[in-house]
Structure 1
């Protein structure tokens, strides 16, 4: 059996998940899938920058974003300590009351 066929077989058996796109939805999907698959592959067409910057392949990259309270709670549960890392990277913090 060829390596490609072996890889396809493993994927069909639920051992390997493939996520297309490393935007917020793709990264969160990959994080969740890690708990259910032996292997998760994230496929992205763009080279990811080392520092935060607008990516040409992301049409909504210039849009303002805000993470609401429930979204923050979910991210903090999936990625403990993410708030400190985001703030250290220059993300502003807004308290919703």
Structure 2
């Protein structure tokens, strides 16, 4: 599921709060209503939003984002752009 996909890196790292952190990140990318959906049930843009949430689960120091909003409509693209810069400020991640 989308939730399990985002949780996986944190679970592998032994993070006990993986589910809560993954849920919060999915909410930030506007995906809280589809947590239990499988990748085959998602559009390309929805899969991309899940991937962005997964990229931030481990609080990376550097994140390479090549066209992170390429498969998104303009509204969601703008939201993701703002989110990337917000997470950059909050977590200190270099984009």
TM-score by structure 1 length?
Answer: 0.28
Q: Between Structure 1 and Structure 2, which shows a larger proportion of helix residues? A: 2
Of structures 1 and 2, the one scoring higher in RCO (CA 8 A, sep 6+) is 2
Using structure 2 for the length normalisation, give the TM-score: 0.28
- Say which one has the larger Rg: 1
